[in-house]
Structure 1
Amino acid sequence: MTGEPHIPVLMNEALDALALEPGGRYLDGTFGAGGYSRALLEREPTAQLLALDRDPTAITGGAGLVAAMGGRLTLAQARFGALAEEAERFRMAPLDGVVLDIGVSSMQLDQAGRGFSFRQDGPLDMRMEAGGQSAAELVNEADEGVLANIIYHYGEERRSRAVARAIVEVRRKAPITTTKQLADLVAGIVRAEPGGAHPATRTFQALRIAVNDELCELVRALHGAESVLKPGGRLAVVTFHSLEDRIVKHFFAERSGKVPSGSRHAPAMAAPQATFRLVTKGPVSPSEAEIRANPRARSAKLRAAERTEAPARAPDPDLVGLAVVPAPQTRRRS
């Protein structure tokens, strides 16, 4: 593996937000290199922790920490969207706290063979798990309209249609199989901003989110945490881009009664009880010192809330709508 080791972002702030209790039961839904898990168990030496990660390399890499924690850490391969089911399976529910550090890890970005980054040439893969559709399969098989919508909604790329059109033209001659191929193609379409990110950054983000169903997993995780946190339990979520933060912000606002409940398509007749009360008033951002030490922390935001005694609610349709790419519009023939 190349590059810098993964540095957890906003870790102390997230653990402060959890307000750890002696003997508490906690869940780290995004284990990664184990930074959050290690810090949590060291800060509260009587806590029990269930940690999840969908990436099998993270599970293998965490074996040493599991052994070092003497039975206080359980590590399981699972998506964080399944955290409620995993908490029940390992008899950890109800939980005193859940922490989620969303997005791709430095370990994944820095391994060229994983295909997450255009900084090193590698196979166009991007899968956090071993199975499922790869980015190469998506790029070479999806309809132009589907690709354009993915790149626009998940990457917020204004030139999404031009990028999708160029992809389709190139793949007619030969499949696009490497990160360099795709990055060079996008760089020929999207203008580079002086001092800005690489022109392919937004397209790569979009494909990664689509391949791993990241936003829908986040929605499932938020609703899952609501169902397994005990009254007074805390949920702390660190996000790294506006799409993730928008979902977390909406969830906490709607569940705490800060915005009207119910879908805009079927408004609620009466406001239900709040299932969370906000711990952070707005997002918590990294300090200047943390950003200097770890530039990848620049866009991070932490939001946290505490579970009330109100029963968990049904999933919020509007929240699901924020996570799903709309189907391409078909042109009507006159």
Structure 2
Amino acid sequence: MTDRHHGWSDMGWESWKDHEDVRRRLAQGADPEEWSGGRPLHRAAVFGSPEVVAELARRVADVDAIEYGTTALWEAVLSNQPDNARALASAGADPWLPLIGGWSPGRLSLAGPTPHLFAMPEGELGLSEAERTAAREGRRLTSVLEGIHDDGMGLACVAGIDAEEAVRRLEATPAGAQELEELEELLEEPWAYEGDESLEIIGVTTVPGGCVVTQPWGYAPSMPGVLKRLSAGTVCYGLYANPKSGNQGCIFRDGVVEGWDLHPGGGPNPDDASGEVLASYLYRYNAVAYSCAFAGLRLTDAHAVTGPPDRWVRLPQRDHWAQ
């Protein structure tokens, strides 16, 4: 079986769990080293069963082969697939091979839910105290902000200022009685309102470490003009959970954009530094928690994000896209 898919045509994500099908394909000539979307062992490490992982690991030339900067074992750890990780280690994969940002799969696992996944070799120092603290906070914060439906939501996480100061910086005014009456309808049917009108209303809430500016139905908190004012003398992380294209993040520090078109909640990138690798691992698939953590916000519950906020206010009419 040799074709442009290297014998892996019609493989869905669930197909990597089907040991008998994978064995049949391999027997018919499927290439254990190549799939149309990358390396089969890397895909199986994330989506497959331990039996499929072990089958492929026996057939590849190098169980620690690199794809986009990582090994299959790294992908298993990153995806919280401990049984697949054990199968790879049993097949000879090296848990302590340094990869992105100097992290190895084994060291990364120490910050996750299975810290005893691999035996630590002599001379391996493990996590620093700062990294252990970050890991504990990551587990706590993701638990607090778990399961939030954030499609279409805009968020600004601001370090070091409270809701009152955020309102002052934005020159916002309290929502009027009529606006407050309309808010329930707006929350139920945000698209029934004119875009400019609905984007002017935002929620602001004081939280430990700073404040959260939110808009459940739109991107207003992440507009450059809003973030520029909020970040004066501090830092903030803006998030828009775009229902069409996914999470879009940005960083403003002291009024200046420091990062744009970021992807909070995604996995580490091959050129990430050590701290970003850890943060991306701790907050993978939780863009809201990542955004809060970046600004050092230590939320104890989710109401600053899910509502109701401390206060609803109206932004002044100006070009909030201008920096």
Q: TM (normalized to structure 2)? A: 0.24
Which structure has more relative contact order (CA 8 Å, sep 6+)? It is: 1
Q: TM (normalized to structure 1)? A: 0.23
